[in-house]
Amino acid sequence: MVRLSHLTPAQKFLLAVSLPVTLVFLYFLFRKNNDEDDEDVEPRTGTSRHAAIEVQVPSDAVGAVIGQQGSQIKAIQESTKTRINFKGDRSADTDRVLVIRGTQEAVHQAELMVRKIIVDQPPIVTDEISVPREAIGRIIGRNGDTIRTLTRMSKAKIIISRTETRNVEETIVTVQLKGSPAAIDLAKSLILEKVAEEQEFRAKNRKSGGDVMNHQKSSVEVPVEPTNECNQLGEEFSPVYVSAVEHPEHFWLQVLSSKSNQLDALVAQMTEYCGNQNLGEPVTELKEGDIVAAPFEHDNQWYRTEVCEIDGDSVDLYYVDFGDSCWLSKDRIKILRNDLKDLPFQAVECCLADVKPLSGSEWSSDTSDVFEKLCHSAKWKPLMAKFVGSRKTIYNTTTPIVQLVDTNGPTDVDIAAELVRQGLAIRSSAGGANSAEPDSAEPDSTAPVPLGDKVA
């Protein structure tokens, strides 16, 4: 060990200079490590400089905390100088965890503001309203457009059970409503407006002689059951449901048969299984064309769907048994069990025979609305359909061309002829794009197309 007295004057000078520098270096190193420990602070712990806490936000209050286009949560962050974000993936009808970061005082202030928003939320209640079956189609709208608008306007959740609407023996359908009392009251008034519109439409139709075919019901001979065991549309008329409508050249049919009851049983089984949070396996990976299980956005039941498009966490789904489409969050989708895939898909895309748009190639929304009502779309009221040909689509798939006749009234109504009579369509010429004659480019197009199997 070297004694201090043995050092030269130069060595003593260097020691005196280097000692403070070493101490300063050790101080800053200790301070840096301390700061890094503070940055890793867990929620609900903190120092006077930094804190992070978690706030449980009920699902019914999430929208209020976020605000329109995030305005509310941005205002809280700006006024308190904090960073606020929700933790984890978004899931419908579940509570969310909100993480607030900032100084201890700022975090406490932001927490109080969030909790006040939660407390000030009106109570969420469940109610229902009974409406005539004949008005359900107008309330839902084409591809669910109207019911989405009513939900957005009223801020109440509107639920129409597909199983109940399929029970054609009931003339009244119960619509479930969920939201604040004010939201439910507004939703009821909007629904009643749609009921009144439907009643007015039917009154005008009766006044103008809606059933104008003027021939006896017996003039079209129809079988009670489909023409064969394969549920094919052949040269005879077969009873069908129109399950969804876009326009007269694009709609979906379901054949009335034993498979209709099988579909109802399948939907009930899927709902019982997939609707249970403890059952059903959530999807981890998705790609276009996958067949999965998913609920409908305005329904509590589960259905078989095909993945059409994926945009981040949102998925565009096609309901293969009904023809509807909607976007859902990926976390609401579950894997479809193999035993639930056995029943052939029940919705088949079709085209109405003998008509085309008044001008150009586009169907007007007014014509589509009238066609939807004439078909009793999604009201589960049977029509009679006959296959008369087929055509190729732009996607190189085959679409059946069918004649539709409504036999529910005192006289039969040919739906194509009725559209022409009302000045909403014109007869298509022989060999046209929507002619009843089979396309000459398809030698086998006169062969019956099976309903109940997806057309390839």
**pLDDT of 55 strictly over 50:** yes
Residue whose structure tokens are 């928003």: 117
* CA atoms 315, 321, 325, 331: torsion sign: negative
Beta-carbon count within 10 A of 303 CB: 24
- Identify whether the C-beta of residue 367 lies closer than 8 Å to the C-beta of residue 445: no
Q: In this predicted structure, what is the pLDDT of residue 40?
A: 43
Residue 355's DSSP bridge partners are 427
**pLDDT of 353 strictly over 80:** yes
**pLDDT of 202 strictly over 50:** yes
Q: What one-character DSSP code corresponds to residue 225?
A: S
**pLDDT of 38 strictly over 60:** no
Confidence label for 423 from pLDDT (cuts 50, 70 and 90):
very high
Average confidence (pLDDT) over 405-410: 86
Residue whose structure tokens are 């006959």: 386
- Give me the DSSP letters along 194-213: HHHHHHHHHHHHHHTTS---
Q: In this predicted structure, what is the pLDDT of residue 20?
A: 60
Q: In this predicted structure, what is the pLDDT of residue 293?
A: 92
Average pLDDT, the chain: 75
Average confidence (pLDDT) over 285-304: 86
Closest CA to 428 of 365, 363, 366: 363
**pLDDT of 369 strictly over 80:** yes
Look up the pTM and report it: 0.50
Strand, coil or helix: 169? coil
Closest CA to 150 of 164, 137, 160, 140: 140
Residue 186's DSSP bridge partners are none
C-alpha gyration radius of the chain: 32
Closest CA to 92 of 321, 314, 340, 337: 314
Q: In this predicted structure, what is the pLDDT of residue 438?
A: 39
**pLDDT of 288 strictly over 70:** yes
Residue 210's DSSP bridge partners are none
- Identify whether the C-beta of residue 296 lies closer than 8 Å to the C-beta of residue 161: no
State which of 56-60, 88-92, 159-163, 373-377 shows the largest mean pLDDT.
373-377
Q: In this predicted structure, what is the pLDDT of residue 351?
A: 92
**pLDDT of 117 strictly over 80:** yes
- Identify whether the C-beta of residue 238 lies closer than 8 Å to the C-beta of residue 255: yes
Average confidence (pLDDT) over 289-293: 92
**pLDDT of 236 strictly over 90:** no
Average confidence (pLDDT) over 130-154: 80
pLDDT digits (tens, 9 = 90+) for 13-36: 555 655 565 555 555 555 555 554
> Which CA distances in Å does 241 have to 35, 176, 179, 368?
69, 24, 33, 17
Residue whose structure tokens are 């929304």: 365
Which comes out higher in pLDDT, residue 49 or 58?
58
Closest CA to 138 of 382, 375, 417: 375
Q: In this predicted structure, what is the pLDDT of residue 264?
A: 83
d(CA 379, CA 135): 9
Average confidence (pLDDT) over 221-243: 53
Residue 233's DSSP bridge partners are 449
Q: Which of 33-42, 213-222, 345-354, 442-451 has the lowest mean pLDDT?
A: 213-222
Q: In this predicted structure, what is the pLDDT of residue 410?
A: 84
Q: Which of 66-70, 116-120, 386-390 has the lowest mean pLDDT?
A: 66-70
Q: Which residues contact 136 (CB under 8 A, 6 or more apart)?
A: 160, 165, 173, 378, 379
Q: Across the chain, how many H-helices and E-strands are there?
A: 11, 22
